[in-house]
Amino acid sequence: MKIINSEEFKNAINEDCIVAFSTSWCGPCKMLAPTLETITEVPVYKVDADTEAQLCIEYGIRSVPTIISFKEGKEYKKLLGNQTKPKLLEMLDYELPNN
Q: Are 37 and 75 within 8 A, CB to CB?
A: no
- Which candidate in 4, 12, 29, 92 is catalytic? 29
Cβ-based neighbours of 83, under 8 Å, separated by 6 or more: 32, 35, 67
Is 26 a residue of the active site?
Answer: yes
Beta strands across the sheet bearing 66-71 = 2-3, 44-48, 17-22, 66-71, 74-80
- Which candidate in 1, 9, 26, 79 is catalytic? 26
Q: Are 52 and 68 within 8 A, CB to CB?
A: no
Known catalytic residues are 26, 29
